[in-house]
Amino acid sequence: MADELLTAEHLVKRFDDNTVLDDVSLSVKKGEVIVVVGPSGCGKSTLLRCLNALEPIQGGKITLDGEAVVYGSKNLAAIRQKIGMVFQSYDLFPHLSVLDNILLAPVKAQKRKKDEAAAEAMKLLERVGLADKAKSFPRQLSGGQKQRVAIVRALCMHPVMMLFDEVTAALDPEMVREVLDVMLNLAKQGMTMIIVTHEMQFAKAIADRVVFLENGEIIEDTDPNTFFEHPQTERAKQFLNIFSFERSKKDEKN
Amino acid sequence: MNWDFIWKYLPMYGEAALLTVKIGLAGIGIAIPVGFFCAVIQYFKVALLRRIVSVYIEISRNTPLLIQLFFIYYALPKIGIPTNPSVCGVAGLAFLGGSYMAEAFRSGLEAVETVQMESALSLGLKRGQALLYVILPQAVSVSVPAFVANIIFLLKETSVFSAVSLMDLMFTAKDLIGQYYKTTESLFMLVVFYMIILLPVSILGSVLERRVRRAGFGS
């Protein structure tokens, strides 16, 4: 149990009377890539948002690297620096250039030297193929480029783990690929990640573990092979059928 | 039109205009920070303070400036707070303007999507830092048009200052009409001087709006 980076125990999240997460427990080992799948509204995004305390929880406990993650606590900013998060909608700051977007948190929150952080930012931008966009503003970028910058912005804080909340859901298919490739590379380098996605092929390729969430409960938590080839629950089978049906329809058209 | 008359009383209008501008700027100068703090309190939903702010805004926006001025001028001395016309003018304008500025800033703050705050927070910035570096720059650019409109509105409102015997433009015009019956000339100069004050503000405002838009915000 020593190598567990993040644990969530018996999380309960309610919006008024609506229980979104119902006794969810999840633990992530260092270097592990967990993909969370499930139908819309099952609580996937809420789960991620609870993990870095963007949402208050009504029950349970979250621990990162031995420290409790508590909504509204004094050291929350410091804890969040360790968790990189990328959102579905483009969350770049529109009034700042790409480089300034990346440098804001390292310079203001971590009090790092601007030159040193900028050098690292440029190196990371180069790695995702966007070094020439450093001076551009977010509105001049495509959706896929924005998401890659958002990933770089999170990485520049040296997080111990990353959360991805349907980061390709708003993108054109071609741009999806370039973002997913960046994430695959991160996985290869050993980054600990929790990924919420609807890209099943990608999930199969990147996941060490797949968590299937429905109605706020984890009903399968297993390796990708078992999940995609031999799902244990009827509900997971139904869910996966939806995707294979969609795929065969596209095949016919082509 | 008696141009000699106009020429003769031009300096008098000049002085009155200067007073109008001074009181106007002082009042607006206070109204801006007042409005700013009110807007931030409402944005962060600070308990209790938020209630006080909304009561203030409702009172301020739903009573005429003239009534507010009378209240400050006649009621405050009765509870032991001395006032004079200038202080009264500045205070009245700040009281009225504060709420209008608060609404302008609030609409700007609310126009910034919540994911902006969330992504700033999840990067590890503190709320204050997120507000300062991420939310405010975007909010201000959104509120510029409302902000400029408020400044023009407040400068125009200064025309009721004469009611508390402040020797502003309106007071001067009424005074001259009363003394010499030169209604046309007096009102003509009144209009001209208000234009001299407000036209540059309007032009500056539209230049500012265009620049803010061109800076690439709000994509």
CATH superfamily entry for domain A4-253: P-loop containing nucleotide triphosphate hydrolases (3.40.50.300)
Q: Identify the pLDDT of residue B219.
A: 40
Chain B stretch 117-146, residues whose beta carbon is closer than 8 A to a beta carbon of chain A:
118-126, 129, 133-134, 137-138, 141
Q: Could you tell me which of B163, B170, B164 has the C-alpha nearest to residue B16?
A: B170
Long-range contacts of A183-187 (CB under 8 A, 24+ apart): A183/A151, A185/A127, A186/A151, A186/A155, A186/A162, A187/A33
Residue B45 is which amino acid? Answer: K
Of A1-10, A181-190, B4-13, B24-33, the range with the lowest mean pLDDT is A1-10
Question: Which positions in chain A touch B120 (Cβ < 8 Å)?
Answer: 93, 104-105
Confidence check: pLDDT of B101 > 80: yes
Percent of chain A with pLDDT over 90: 69
Q: Which of B44, B112, B122 to mutate to test the interface with A (most CBs of A within 10 A)?
A: B122
Write out pLDDT tens, residues A12-58.
999 988 889 999 999 999 999 999 998 888 889 999 999 999 999 99
Question: Which positions in chain A touch B212 (Cβ < 8 Å)?
Answer: none
Q: Identify the pLDDT of residue A252.
A: 54
Q: Tell me if A87 and B124 make a contact (CB, 8 A cut-off).
A: no
Mean pLDDT of all residues in B46-60: 94
Mean pLDDT of all residues in A120-140: 94
Mean per-residue pLDDT over chain B, rounded: 90
In angstroms, the Cα distances linking B56 to B49, B91, B151 are: 10, 14, 19
Nearest by CB: A94 against B118, B129, B138: B138
DSSP lists the bridge partners of residue A59 as: A12
Q: Identify the pLDDT of residue A90.
A: 74
Nearest by CB: A80 against B113, B121, B217: B121
Burial class (CB in 10 A: 0-12, 13-18, 19+), A148: buried
Q: Identify the pLDDT of residue B164.
A: 84
Backbone phi, psi, residue A209, to 5°: -145, 145
Using DSSP's 3-state secondary structure scheme, residue A26 falls into strand
State whether residue B113 sits within 8 Å of chain A by CB.
yes
**Cα distance from A49 to chain B (closest Cα, Å)?**
9
Q: Identify the pLDDT of residue A254.
A: 47
Q: Residue B27 sits in which domain range?
A: 3-212
Residue A124 is which amino acid? Answer: L
Q: Identify the pLDDT of residue A241.
A: 83
- Tell whether B218 is covered by a domain: no
**Cα distance from A70 to chain B (closest Cα, Å)?**
14
**Cα distance from B138 to chain A (closest Cα, Å)?**
7
Question: What is the band of B82 on the pLDDT scale with cuts at 50, 70, 90?
Answer: confident
The H or E element that residue A68 is part of is: strand A67-68
Q: How far apart are CA A220 and CA A209, in angstroms?
A: 10
Instruction: Choose between A1 and B169: higher pLDDT.
Output: B169
DSSP lists the bridge partners of residue A209 as: A34
Confidence check: pLDDT of B218 > 50: no
Question: What is the band of B216 on the pLDDT scale with cuts at 50, 70, 90?
Answer: low
Q: How far apart are CA B75 and CA A64, in angstroms?
A: 60
The CB density around residue B144, as the number of other CB atoms within 10 Å, is 20
Confidence check: pLDDT of A251 > 80: no
The maximal CA–CA distance of chain B, rounded, in angstroms, is 70
DSSP lists the bridge partners of residue A212 as: A37, A220
Total structural domains in chain B? 1
Q: How far apart are CA A173 and CA A127, in angstroms?
A: 21
- Tell whether B217 is covered by a domain: no
Domain CATH for B63:
1.10.3720.10
Nearest CA in chain B to A83: B122
**Cα distance from B15 to chain A (closest Cα, Å)?**
43
Confidence check: pLDDT of B79 > 80: yes
CB B99 within 8 A of CB B61: yes
Domain layout of chain A by residue ranges: 4-253
State whether residue A169 sits within 8 Å of chain B by CB.
no
Percent of chain B with pLDDT over 70: 97
Mean pLDDT of all residues in B54-73: 93
- Tell whether B56 is covered by a domain: yes
Residue A19 is which amino acid? Answer: T
CB A161 within 8 A of CB A80: no
Backbone phi, psi, residue B8, to 5°: -65, -40
Question: What is the band of B44 on the pLDDT scale with cuts at 50, 70, 90?
Answer: confident
Instruction: Choose between A31 and B165: higher pLDDT.
Output: A31
Confidence check: pLDDT of B214 > 60: no
Burial class (CB in 10 A: 0-12, 13-18, 19+), B147: buried
Q: Identify the pLDDT of residue A2.
A: 52
State whether residue B44 sits within 8 Å of chain A by CB.
no
Q: Which of B123, B131, B214 to mutate to test the interface with A (most CBs of A within 10 A)?
A: B123
Q: Tell me if B122 and A93 make a contact (CB, 8 A cut-off).
A: no
Chains A and B: how many Cβ contacts under 8 Å? 74
DSSP labels, B64-78: -HHHHHHIIIIIHHH
Write out pLDDT tens, residues A211-249.
999 988 999 999 999 999 988 888 888 888 877 655 555
The residue count for chain A: 254
> Alpha helix (H) ranges present in chain A?
44-51, 76-80, 98-108, 114-127, 143-155, 173-188, 200-206, 224-229, 234-253
Mean per-residue pLDDT over chain A, rounded: 90
Give, as one character, the DSSP assignment of residue B122.
Answer: H
b/e per residue A181-210 (b: at least 16 CB within 10 A): ebbeebbeeebbbbbbbebbebbeebbbbb
Residue A121 is which amino acid? Answer: A
The maximal CA–CA distance of chain A, rounded, in angstroms, is 56
Backbone phi, psi, residue A191, to 5°: -70, 135
Q: Identify the pLDDT of residue B162.
A: 86
